[in-house]
A and B are shown apart, each in its own frame.
Chain A
Amino acid sequence: NAGVTQTPKFQVLKTGQSMTLQCAQDMNHNSMYWYRQDPGMGLRLIYYSASEGTTDKGEVPNGYNVSRLNKREFSLRLESAAPSQTSVYFCASSDGRSSGNTIYFGEGSWLTVV
């Protein structure tokens, strides 16, 4: 049971470099999310995708782009990394059930921009 898999787990980038965080889920979920978490703070929504083919901005979308490639995969791209994007990134997916735990998280990607 892989659940939600995100890669890479750790990455160091130089300012101005680009990179893509990959996320895949094998639970046939419709909704997928990308969050960032900074020290002492909760999870802030970057982008989400309610279903295949749709994406919407969250609270902090600036500097990021996303692609919902298919139902399984939802990638997050930093076109020109900035030190302010140093953070821990979590991908999540949801099955939309009305009861119980419906959100499943990846293990996180630690990104440092120098």
Chain B
Amino acid sequence: EDKVVQSPLSLVVHEGDTVTLNCSYEVTNFRSLLWYKQEKKAPTFLFMLTSSGIEKKSGRLSSILDKKELFSILNITATQTGDSAIYLCAVRNFGNEKLTFGTGTRLTIIP
């Protein structure tokens, strides 16, 4: 059965700190790994990763994938209170298009 595990489950840091969120996976026929941010309603897209070692970057957020070790990390530098959210990792299969999410990491930024 496909599995996506995120760690830590929750994290509380002070504004300005840097955080690293982890996502490991075991899936058949890996196609892509996606990161989402969820505040009050539906998740919003952050990154999609398909190739190992290529960093995706958007402002203070960046992410990288390791297909050999089957994990990805999401980094947030100089955190702000607006970064407080649940961060979700998902992996997608080739063929059957199944999309499996992890449990999420709840990030809280203290002013």
Residues on A close to B: CB < 8 A?
Answer: 30-31, 33, 35, 40-45, 48, 50, 56, 58-59, 90, 92, 94, 96, 98-103, 105-108
Contacts and interface: CB of A to CB of B under 8 A. Distances in A.
Identify the 8 closest CB pairs spanning chains A and B, nearest first: A105-B42, A101-B45, A42-B104, A43-B101, A42-B103, A50-B97, A31-B97, A42-B101
Nearest to B43: A105
Interface of B: 1, 6, 9, 32, 34, 41-43, 45, 48, 50, 86, 88, 90, 92, 96-104, 106
A47 to B, nearest CB: 11
A96 B43 contact: no
Given A105-B42, A105-B43, A99 B48 contact: yes
A50 B29 CA distance: 15
A99 B49 CA distance: 8
A58 B50 CA distance: 23
Contacts of B6: 42
Given A98-B50, A102-B48, A107-B42, A45 B88 contact: no
Nearest to A99: B48
Contacts of B86: 42
Contacts of B43: 43, 90, 105
